Chain A
């Protein structure tokens, strides 16, 4: 059973526009969420995180929004750049003192120049 879902396997966006990547989860006990970016032949790179006690976290061009009632989070990238083209994973942690993260299946973002 997939507890963290990224239902869009791919997304194409024009350079300079906003990219919105979505992630849904089923476990209401998740208390911390991460977004990672992955280029081919490299390991995932941490982008941004959000605690369940917040609804928004911003870092430069990246903003993550959390809607706990809908069990939904999204990553906004503004403005999108060609270098943002990568696979993006969301990950969630159970509120149990664990450091185990459950990852979604990823969304491939392509930013068109």
Chain B
């Protein structure tokens, strides 16, 4: 297993456009998390899934953000009508029941909204 993968690694979009990011967790991990990180800050929690169920969402996840994990495997994060303030690194992480406290992060998708 090569770990958590994210696609794309970089995305440049114009304000008002929609973007979608994909995360493939470690295959046996049933929990999946999305974080956002801006310059000089630590990762900020957005949401997490246990299998296909979205169990928690942050206040940061406005109506323009939606995340899915339809079959309990990969996940997508969509941002509609992007704003310049959405520019950030979007990180995905996964964990298994056995190591629930240890989250394994992907390399992130860097979003730039112009």
**A interface residues (Cβ-Cβ under 8 A, vs B):** 4, 6, 32, 34, 36, 41-46, 49, 89, 91, 93, 98-106
Contact = CB atoms under 8 A, between A and B. Distances in A.
Given A43-B91, A100-B56, A100-B58, A105 B41 contact: yes
A91 B106 CA distance: 17
B112 interface: no
B107 interface: yes
Contacts of A36: 105
Contacts, number: 55
Q: Of residues B4, B42, B100, B102, which shows the largest number of chain A Cβ atoms within 10 Å of its Cβ?
A: B42
Given A102-B45, A104-B42, A105-B40, A43 B107 contact: yes
Q: Of residues A41, A43, A91, A101, which shows the largest number of chain B Cβ atoms within 10 Å of its Cβ?
A: A43
5 contacts: A34-B102, A36-B105, A91-B43, A101-B45, A105-B42
B56 A43 contact: no
A43 B105 contact: yes
B21 interface: no
B28 interface: no
Interface in B3-42: 4, 31, 33, 35, 40-42
Contact of B101 (A42, A43, A49, A100): A49
